[in-house]
C-alpha cells in the first residue's frame, strides 16, 4: 500500500526484510514496569535452571536450511528451568504443544507472581501436518453470580474490590486449556508433560533476585493470607533472600493429581471446593458450579500478511492481536531501513501508530460472545492522520472508553523441527493475582475481574466504553499477544510477551526487527524499546534511548518518561535459509533452550494427527487423560 501523504520515509510496496544492528547486551536484569495510571512498578520473577539434556542460555543459535541443523526444536521463555522443561519434551519426541505445556506449567512454578493453575491464557498453534492454525482461548470467565453493583460502595465503583480479595477472582481456565491443547496436539503422555513442573515444585529451586524482590515488595500482602504466607515467607514472617531454596509441596501434590486424573482433579471434588471456599472467605462469589461449567474455546486465529510472511495472532478477547495487525499494516507502508532503527523519526512513527491503536482498542475489543465491538480503523485512515512534525493531544486520536490497565503474565515460544509452532501467554493478572491462596493446594487465584471496565469514569475521567463490561460468564479483554509467523508452510517465528499493555508495543518492535532487519532472536530482544498507549499521554523509553533522540522527540511534542524496561519478550526464530535462534528476554531473566535430536523413532512414537475443530468451539467436559 502507499501512504504518500505522510512525509516520513514511505514506500509503495512491501520491502524485503533487511539486516538490523545488534544492540549492546544488558549487563543486569531489570524489573519490568507495568503501566497502570502513570508508570506502576510491578515485580516479575526470575528462575533457576532445571538440569535436563538441553543447551540452556539467555539465547541460543543453530543452523540449517530449515533452521535446525542438529536440534529437535527451540523453546524460549522467561526462566532457564522452564525453557529446559520444554526442550526436554521435544528431545523426547514430543510435539511443539507438549513443549509449550511443559514450559508453561514450569514457568508458573518459578514465576508464581505472574501465572499459575489459578489463572488462564491464550495459545496460538501452527500444525505443520495440516497446514492450519488454531487459537485456544482459556481466559478466565466471570462467575455466574457476578454483578457490577458488587464492586460499588455507596454507589461508587471501588477499584480495590476488583484488584484484591475474593471478588476479584475469575473462574480459572489454565488446567482445562492446557489439557484441551494436549488432547488435540499432544504426542507424549499427559503425565510426562506435567512432570517437569511437578519436580520443580516438589524438589524446589533457588529463588532468583527478581523473585526475592517480588516477595519482599509484597511481603505485607502475602503475610495477610495464611496460605501465601506459608509458601513464600519464612517462619518469622520475613521474606527469603535470593539464592535460598523454595519448595512448594502442596502445589506438587496438586500437580501430581492433575497429572494422574486430568482436569477433574481441579474442577471437581475436594480441590474445587477448596478453590470456591477460599474465594468466598474473602468476599468472592466463585462456586463449584462455576468451576464445573468452565470450558476453553477454540477460535479462528487472526491472519494477515507482512513483508511476504503470514502472521497468525490471537483474536478477541485479545486486544493485542488486532492492535498488532493494525500496527503492522501501517508500518508496511514505510521504508523502515530508510528511517533507521531507534531514530527519532522511526520512534515517532511507532509512537503515533501505537497511540491510534490503543485509542481504538477500548471500543474495538470485547468478548465476542457478549459484545459487538466497533471495527478497528483502516491502516490508510490512520496513516493519513499521522504527521512527521508533531504529535497530538489524546482527544485527537478519537478514542473512547478506558485506557488499558492489565498487567503481569508469562510467555512461552516454541518452534519444532517439523515446522510446527506455539506461542502461549499465561497470567493470573497482577503480581500474586488477588492475593488469595488456596490452603493445601499451592494455588494462587487470579484477579482478572479488574480487566473488565465498570460503569464509572476511570482515573483519567473518561466514561467507560460499552464493550468489556463485566457480566456472568464473560471473558475480560487482555493485552496478551501470542503470535506466529508462517513462511513456506512452516512456523518461522514464535513470540509474545509479558508486561500488561506494554506487551503489544514490545511484541511489535521485536517482530519488526526480525522481519524488517533480519535480526536474530537475541538482536531483536536486546534492541531498546519504547511504548505509548494513548493514555496517559506519555512516551515511555528504555535507558538505552539516547538523550539527543529524546530531545528530538520532545520537540515533536512527546512527554518522555524513562522506565527500566518495556515488557519482556520471548522469541524463537527459524526463518528459511537462516540459522535458528531463540532468546528469553534478559529484562526478566529469560532463557532459550535447544532440544537435542533423538534417533529415529518407532511408529508408536510418531505424531498423531490433530483432530480438526470448528473455528469457534467450546471444549466438551474434560475427563481423565488417555
| Residue 62, pLDDT score | 53
Q: What is the mean pLDDT of residues 583-593?
A: 93
Q: Tell me: the pLDDT tens digits for 62-87?
A: 544 445 655 789 999 999 999 999 99
Q: What is the mean pLDDT of residues 458-481?
A: 78
DSSP code at position 397: G
| Residue 409 is among the residues annotated as catalytic for this protein | yes
- Tell the residue number behind the cell numbers 532468583, with chain if given: 208
| Residue 362, pLDDT score | 75
**Residue 515 is inside which H or E element, if any?**
helix 502-517
CA dihedral defined by 618, 491, 504, 341, rounded to 10 degrees?
A: -170
Q: Tell me: the pLDDT tens digits for 291-313?
A: 999 999 999 999 999 999 999 99
- Tell the residue number behind the cell numbers 520515509, with chain if given: 9
Residue 279 · residue 164 · CB < 8 Å = no
Burial 361-389 (b: 16+ CB within 10 A, else e): bbbbbbbbebbebbebbebeebbebbbee
CA torsion sign for 369, 454, 482, 114 is negative
Give which of 82, 86, 79, 85 is closest to 44, Cα–Cα.
79
Q: What is the mean pLDDT of residues 455-482?
A: 77
Give which of 261, 296, 264 is closest to 180, Cα–Cα.
296
Strands 73-77, 59-62: pairing kind: unpaired
Q: What is the mean pLDDT of residues 49-69?
A: 45
Which DSSP string do the residues of 142-179 spell out, in sequence order?
Answer: --TT--GGGGEETTEE-THHHHSSGGGPPBP-HHHHHH
First to last CA, the chain: 50
CA 434 to chain centre: 18
Strands 309-313, 580-583: pairing kind: unpaired
Query: Has residue 319 got a pLDDT over 50?
Result: yes
245 in helix, strand or coil?
Answer: strand
Grid cell locating 84 = 529446559
Q: Is 73 left (phi over 0), alpha (psi -120 to 50) or beta?
A: left
Q: Tell me: the pLDDT tens digits for 173-209?
A: 999 999 999 999 999 999 999 999 999 999 999 888 8
Give which of 19, 25, 98 is closest to 59, Cα–Cα.
25
**Residue 227 is inside which H or E element, if any?**
helix 226-232
pTM: 0.88
Q: What is the mean pLDDT of residues 20-47?
A: 31
Give the start-to-end residue ranges of the domains of the chain.
33-42+49-204+247-599
Give which of 140, 137, 133 is closest to 123, Cα–Cα.
137
DSSP code at position 605: G
The answer to whether the peptide bond before residue 436 is cis (omega within 30 degrees of 0) is no
313 contact partners, CB below 8 Å, separation of at least 6 = 124, 301, 302, 320, 321, 324, 325, 481, 482, 483, 484
**Residue 326 is inside which H or E element, if any?**
helix 320-331
Give which of 504, 557, 537, 554 is closest to 395, Cα–Cα.
537
What is the SS3 assignment for 537-587?
CCEEECCCCCHHHHHHHHHCCCCEEECCCCCEEEEEECCCCCCEEEECCHH
Residue 406 · residue 429 · CB < 8 Å = yes
Q: Tell me: the pLDDT tens digits for 400-426?
A: 666 555 566 899 999 999 999 999 999
Strands 443-445, 591-595: pairing kind: unpaired
How much of the chain, in percent, has pLDDT values that exceed 90? 71
Q: Is 419 left (phi over 0), alpha (psi -120 to 50) or beta?
A: left
Spatial separation of the C-alpha atoms in residues 131 and 73, rounded to whole Å: 18
CA torsion sign for 25, 27, 29, 35 is negative
Q: Tell me: the pLDDT tens digits for 506-561?
A: 999 999 999 999 999 999 999 999 999 998 899 999 999 999 999 999 999 999 99
In this prediction, residue 210 has a pLDDT band, given cuts at 50, 70 and 90, of confident
| Residue 21, pLDDT score | 33
Q: Tell me: the pLDDT tens digits for 108-146?
A: 999 899 999 999 999 999 999 999 999 999 999 999 999
Q: Classify residue 226 by burial, with Cβ atoms within 10 Å: 0-12, 13-18, 19+.
A: exposed
Grid cell locating 228 = 501465601
Mean pLDDT, rounded, of the chain: 85
| Residue 161, pLDDT score | 95
| Residue 605, pLDDT score | 39
Phi, psi of 172 (to 5 degrees): -65, 140
Other CB atoms within 10 Å distance of the CB of residue 24:
9
Which DSSP string do the residues of 270-325 spell out, in sequence order?
Answer: HHHHHHHHHHHHTT----HHHHHH---EEEPPEEEEETTEEEEE--TTBSHHHHHH
Grid cell locating 223 = 503475610
Give which of 474, 489, 501 is closest to 368, Cα–Cα.
474
Q: Tell me: the pLDDT tens digits for 228-253?
A: 999 999 999 999 999 999 999 999 99
Grid cell locating 119 = 489463572
In this prediction, residue 51 has a pLDDT band, given cuts at 50, 70 and 90, of very low
Catalytic residue among 409, 427, 467, 520: 409
Q: Tell me: the pLDDT tens digits for 267-293?
A: 999 999 999 999 999 999 999 999 999
Spatial separation of the C-alpha atoms in residues 90 and 54, rounded to whole Å: 10
Strands 120-127, 421-427: pairing kind: antiparallel
Residue 506 · residue 542 · CB < 8 Å = no
| Residue 17, pLDDT score | 31
The mean-pLDDT minimum among 29-33, 375-379, 534-538 falls in 29-33
- Highest mean pLDDT: which of 39-48, 92-101, 594-603? 92-101
Give which of 476, 423, 489 is closest to 447, Cα–Cα.
476
Of 327 and 620, which is predicted with more confidence?
327
Phi, psi of 163 (to 5 degrees): -110, -30
Amino acid at each position: 500500500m502507499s501512504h504518500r501523504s505522510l512525509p516520513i520515509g514511505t514506500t509503495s510496496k512491501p520491502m524485503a526484510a533487511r539486516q538490523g544492528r545488534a544492540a549492546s547486551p544488558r549487563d543486569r536484569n531489570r524489573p519490568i514496569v507495568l503501566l497502570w495510571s502513570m508508570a506502576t512498578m510491578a515485580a516479575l520473577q526470575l528462575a533457576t535452571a532445571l538440569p535436563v539434556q538441553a543447551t540452556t542460555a539467555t539465547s541460543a543459535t543453530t543452523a540449517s536450511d530449515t533452521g535446525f541443523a542438529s536440534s529437535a526444536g527451540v523453546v524460549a521463555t522467561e526462566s532457564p528451568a522452564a525453557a529446559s522443561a520444554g526442550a526436554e519434551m521435544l528431545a523426547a519426541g514430543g510435539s511443539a504443544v507438549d513443549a509449550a505445556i511443559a514450559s508453561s506449567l514450569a514457568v508458573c512454578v518459578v514465576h508464581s507472581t505472574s501465572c499459575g493453575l489459578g489463572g488462564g491464557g491464550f495459545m496460538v498453534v501452527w500444525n505443520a501436518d495440516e497446514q492450519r492454525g488454531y487459537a485456544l482461548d482459556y481466559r478466565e470467565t466471570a462467575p455466574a453470580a457476578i454483578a457490577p453493583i458488587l464492586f460499588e460502595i455507596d454507589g461508587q465503583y471501588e477499584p480495590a474490590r476488583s484488584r484484591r480479595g475474593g471478588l476479584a477472582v475469575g473462574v480459572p481456565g489454565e488446567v482445562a486449556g492446557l489439557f484441551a491443547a494436549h488432547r488435540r496436539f499432544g504426542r507424549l503422555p499427559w503425565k510426562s508433560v506435567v512432570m517437569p513442573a511437578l519436580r520443580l515444585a516438589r524438589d524446589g529451586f533457588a529463588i532468583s533476585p527478581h523473585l526475592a524482590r517480588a516477595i519482599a515488595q509484597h511481603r505485607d500482602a502475602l503475610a495477610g493470607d495464611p496460605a501465601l504466607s506459608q509458601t513464600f515467607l519464612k517462619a518469622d514472617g520475613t521474606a527469603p533472600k535470593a539464592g535460598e531454596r523454595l519448595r512448594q509441596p502442596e502445589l506438587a501434590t496438586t500437580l501430581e493429581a492433575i497429572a494422574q486424573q486430568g482436569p477433574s482433579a481441579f474442577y471437581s471434588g475436594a480441590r474445587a471446593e477448596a478453590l470456591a471456599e477460599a474465594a468466598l472467605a474473602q468476599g468472592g462469589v466463585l462456586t463449584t458450579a462455576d468451576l464445573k461449567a468452565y470450558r476453553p474455546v477454540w477460535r479462528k486465529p487472526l491472519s494477515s500478511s507482512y513483508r511476504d510472511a503470514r502472521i497468525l495472532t490471537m483474536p478477541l478477547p485479545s486486544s493485542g492481536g488486532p492492535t498488532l495487525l493494525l500496527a503492522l499494516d501501517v508500518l508496511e507502508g514505510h521504508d523502515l531501513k530508510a528511517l533507521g532503527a531507534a531514530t527519532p523519526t522511526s520512534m515517532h512513527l511507532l509512537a503515533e501508530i501505537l497511540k491510534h491503536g490503543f485509542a481504538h482498542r477500548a471500543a474495538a475489543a470485547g468478548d465476542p460472545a457478549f459484545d459487538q465491538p466497533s471495527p478497528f480503523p483502516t491502516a490508510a485512515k490512520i496513516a493519513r492522520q499521522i504527521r512527521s512534525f508533531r504529535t497530538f493531544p489524546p482527544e485527537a486520536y478519537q478514542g473512547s472508553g478506558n485506557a488499558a490497565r492489565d498487567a503481569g503474565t508469562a510467555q512461552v515460544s516454541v518452534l519444532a523441527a517439523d515446522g510446527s509452532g506455539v506461542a502461549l501467554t499465561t497470567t493470573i493478572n497482577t503480581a500474586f493475582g488477588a492475593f488469595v491462596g488456596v490452603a493445601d493446594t499451592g494455588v494462587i487465584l487470579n484477579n482478572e475481574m479488574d480487566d473488565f471496565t465498570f460503569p464509572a469514569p476511570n482515573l483519567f475521567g473518561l466514561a467507560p466504553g460499552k464493550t468489556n463490561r463485566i457480566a456472568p460468564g464473560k471473558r475480560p479483554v487482555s493485552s496478551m499477544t501470542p503470535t506466529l509467523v508462517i513462511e513456506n508452510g512452516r512456523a518461522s517465528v514464535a513470540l509474545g510477551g509479558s508486561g500488561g499493555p506494554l506487551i503489544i508495543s514490545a511484541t511489535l518492535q521485536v517482530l519488526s526487527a526480525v522481519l524488517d532487519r533480519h535480526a536474530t532472536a537475541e538482536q531483536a530482544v536486546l534492541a531498546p524499546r519504547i511504548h505509548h498507549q494513548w493514555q496517559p499521554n506519555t512516551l515511555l523509553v528504555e535507558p538505552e534511548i539516547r538523550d539527543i533522540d529524546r530531545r528530538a522527540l520532545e520537540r515533536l511534542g512527546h512527554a518522555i518518561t524513562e522506565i527500566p524496561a518495556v515488557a519482556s519478550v520471548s522469541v524463537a526464530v527459524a526463518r528459511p535459509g537462516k540459522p535458528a535462534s531463540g532468546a528469553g528476554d534478559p529484562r526478566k531473566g529469560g532463557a532459550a533452550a535447544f532440544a537435542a535430536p533423538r534417533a529415529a523413532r518407532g511408529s508408536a512414537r510418531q505424531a498423531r494427527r490433530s483432530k480438526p475443530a470448528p473455528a469457534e468451539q467450546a471444549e466438551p467436559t474434560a475427563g481423565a487423560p488417555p
